[in-house]
Structure 1
Amino acid sequence: MSEKITFPRVSFTGWGSLSHLADQVNSFKVNKILIITDPFLHKIGLTNEVVAPLIEAGYSPEIYTDIVPEPPLSVGEKLVSYTREKRFDMVIGIGGGSALDLTKLVGVLAGNEGKVEEYLNLTGTKKITKKGLPKILIPTTAGTGSEVTNISVLSLETTKDVVNHDYLLPDVAIVDPALTVSLPAKVTAATGVDALTHAVEAYVSKNASPVSDALALQAMRLISQSIRTAVVNGEDRQARTDMSYGSYLAGLAFFNAGVAGVHALAYPLGGQFHIAHGDANAVLLPYVMGYIRKSCEKRMKDIYEAMGFSSTNLSQVEASLKCVAELERLVKDVNIPQTLRSFNIPEEALEELTNDAIKQKRLLDRSPMPLDKEDIYKIYNMAW
């Protein structure tokens, strides 16, 4: 059976890789550049590291900061309209998943007609036909993997949906761990467990392949053995480097194999209660993996080993159980709450969360264990 494996056109990775930015921009022969970034990153001066080499190269980029975490559809609509109106010919995203997702979205839809909502996966009726503008993505977190995927996630009233097409893949991804050093411990933890979730779900996905497996396993090795240090000591260069590479590899793994149940259940937490995506994945990860464990015991034994533990004298059942326990311990060690109740989610909300999660068919179809409405409610209840 043949497999389609997709990667961005070009990536620069490693400490100091931002130095390639100006040359890459020059290669596209553009004039009007829009930089999309988080207002906090702009406030602390991190965007200056991107803007300075561009100004030195003769460009006058405009900076757009009117974005929010877990961006609602309205933010996307506004940014697409702005980009079309101002006739930019390149977009550069710097920040976490929200900034990068919006950059991909506007880069493509600036060259296509209609509203963003008309391109949504669950309800949209329009098809993307044009590539749009050149896109350069520069993550400042080690977590979302957005810089290597073809998806843009948007928050709706009670859940989330995506716009996805291969045209959303960036033309250039620059993954420089130096840009993650100023990341607060709380965000380091949430985005780091998000990346780990990408790798874990990609590895147990029904769409996994030998290529995605290799990417996912190495991502798990790097993340599980560096996340605690990165959270406690953000200045640790090796930990930050390992987390950035781990996040990048996890992004490639889940882009090619897909994520499943954890993400399907996490989306409504963000939509209904505005819980950050990383936190939503982290709180659910041990519960979902514990629930589906019997469908992927051999693979969970592999995950346990990738996290640095020996399973030599363990059966698959024993190793899979220890894997769930270790995932739970990791979430606890990086100080992410371990129950939905800790996020002030009332028990009576579980049914509505279930109603929204079951709609995420694109994600649930990849789960090694089929999850119906009753299963999803049980998982939410255990997590509560």
Structure 2
Amino acid sequence: MMVSMLRFPKRSYVGWGSIGELFQVLRGWGQRNVLVVTDPTLVKIGLVEEFLSPVNHDFQITVYTDVEPEPSLECAERLVAFTRAGSFGCVVGLGGGSALDMAKLAAVIPQNKGNIADYLNLTGTMKLEKEGVPKILIPTTSGTGSEVTDIAVLSLKGTKDVITHDYLLADVAIVDPQLTLSVPKRVTAATGIDALTHAVEAFLSVNASEATDALALRAVELIGGSLKTAVENGKDAEARKAMSTGSYLAGLAFFNAGVAGVHALAYPLGSQFKLPHGESNAVLLPYVMKTISANCREKMNTICRILADGVKQVDDWNAEDYLRLFYYFVKDVGLPTTLKEYGIIESKLTDLTNDAIKQKRLLARSPKPLGENEIHQIYQMAYSGLQ
């Protein structure tokens, strides 16, 4: 029988108003010099000032905003250099997945030898030796799950790579739905599909367990039942709460069971064409699900029954049904469903395939082996759309 090992952040606060725990955590650590890594947009709209104001008088806070969507290696190296020049006692990441991933690196890499490139999964040759300073990760979107994982994703030329280590795991995660109220419709949709993809791929992963299945299925229920409402009415507190909790649970599920083909094929879209990560997942999700469905039919039926809200009996589903269900779920929240809609030309599918096949860490978790032919076929379907 398989033995499962589950990993979680050391501590999590989840729920409306949980941002109020920030002061108590910082005070308990006794570190006055705090680095806050955040999205520049959040500073512009006043969110950072609003939620840091209760701690401003008690701590010396430095706000760092040189954070890019889909951050590049160069962007991350600038942050590490900035952090090494300071003497920060702890790091707070506030924002979307990019800001949280950057905060992880700011807390850990400066305490170790070398640069970020030395620790990349595909090409790095060094191992992290020091844990770094404590870090608090606070998401302002419901989607990436970065607050509960030990992964930082970076864009490289033509593809993406990651740094992954237990040291990157949050000391404290604070998941407060009220921080997501101002997220625009398109971002709500994209990050929501990202969270759904985490839950679905974790449930279908070859590394799934009963424990991760429970997390993943509850996440599918919460996200499936609330995403459209959150997109259409961002001020709906119940929808935002369900999305926030669903994203958190999906993050825990995929951190322990892993994601697979959708993410492997999404990475090149982000690096080559700068598609937001959530949209990269969304445009591929229906076509990957159709392709792998024969190898995980029972579990796929379970997911589809939840998302379709009982419209069809479980034993009625087939590969075309899976395709159509996920296709219309993505389309219904206003996201593109073909690569053509992003201006990607057909001749680029080979380049995408060549980069996706390198993501062996992710592809190894797919219930159906995805080789070069299968990957190219998925990109071709995503290019052409629903026929």
**Under TM normalisation by the shorter chain, which class is it?**
over 0.9
**Equivalent position of 1:251 in the other structure:** 251
Give the Cα separation in 2 of the matches to 1:260 and 1:219: 17
| TM-score normalised per structure 2 | 0.97
Give the Cα separation in 1 of the matches to 2:35 and 2:209: 37
Structure 2 gap segments, 5+ residues each: none
Code of the aligned partner of 2:351: E
Q: Provide the secondary structure at the position in 2 that maps to 1:132.
A: coil
Deviations 1:153-210 (CA, angstroms, capped at 9, x unpaired):
0000111000000110000000000000000000000000000000000000000000
Give the Cα separation in 2 of the matches to 1:7 and 1:376: 32
Aligned counterparts, 1:141-152, within 5 A: 141-152=141-152
Give the Cα separation in 1 of the matches to 2:27 and 2:319: 50
CA contact (8 A) 1:221 1:307 kept: yes
**Equivalent position of 2:326 in the other structure:** 327
Q: Provide the secondary structure at the position in 1 that maps to 2:317.
A: helix
Q: How far apart are residue 48 of structure 1 and its match?
A: 1.3
**Equivalent position of 1:344 in the other structure:** 343
**Equivalent position of 2:279 in the other structure:** 279
Code of the aligned partner of 1:38: D
**Equivalent position of 1:30 in the other structure:** 31
CA contact (8 A) 1:204 1:367 kept: yes
Q: Provide the secondary structure at the position in 1 that maps to 2:50.
A: helix
Code of the aligned partner of 1:329: Y
| TM-score normalised per structure 1 | 0.98
Code of the aligned partner of 1:89: G
Give the Cα separation in 2 of the matches to 1:162 and 1:211: 25
CA contact (8 A) 1:193 1:278 kept: yes
Give the Cα separation in 1 of the matches to 2:351 and 2:312: 43
Give the Cα separation in 2 of the matches to 1:298 and 1:324: 16
Moved more, 78-87 or 148-157: 78-87
**Equivalent position of 1:171 in the other structure:** 171
Q: How far apart are residue 220 of structure 1 and its match?
A: 0.3
**Equivalent position of 1:361 in the other structure:** 360
Q: How far apart are residue 81 of structure 1 and its match?
A: 1.1
Aligned counterparts, 1:91-170, within 5 A: 91-170=91-170
Tell me the C-alpha RMSD between the 2 structures: 1.1
**Equivalent position of 1:15 in the other structure:** 16
CA contact (8 A) 2:305 2:313 kept: no
**Equivalent position of 2:377 in the other structure:** 378
Q: Provide the secondary structure at the position in 1 that maps to 2:162.
A: strand
Q: How far apart are residue 330 of structure 1 and its match?
A: 1.0
Are 1:5 and 2:1 an aligned pair? no
CA contact (8 A) 1:221 1:308 kept: no
Give the Cα separation in 2 of the matches to 1:49 and 1:343: 36
CA contact (8 A) 1:230 1:240 kept: yes
CA contact (8 A) 2:305 2:314 kept: no
Q: How far apart are residue 313 of structure 1 and its match?
A: 3.9
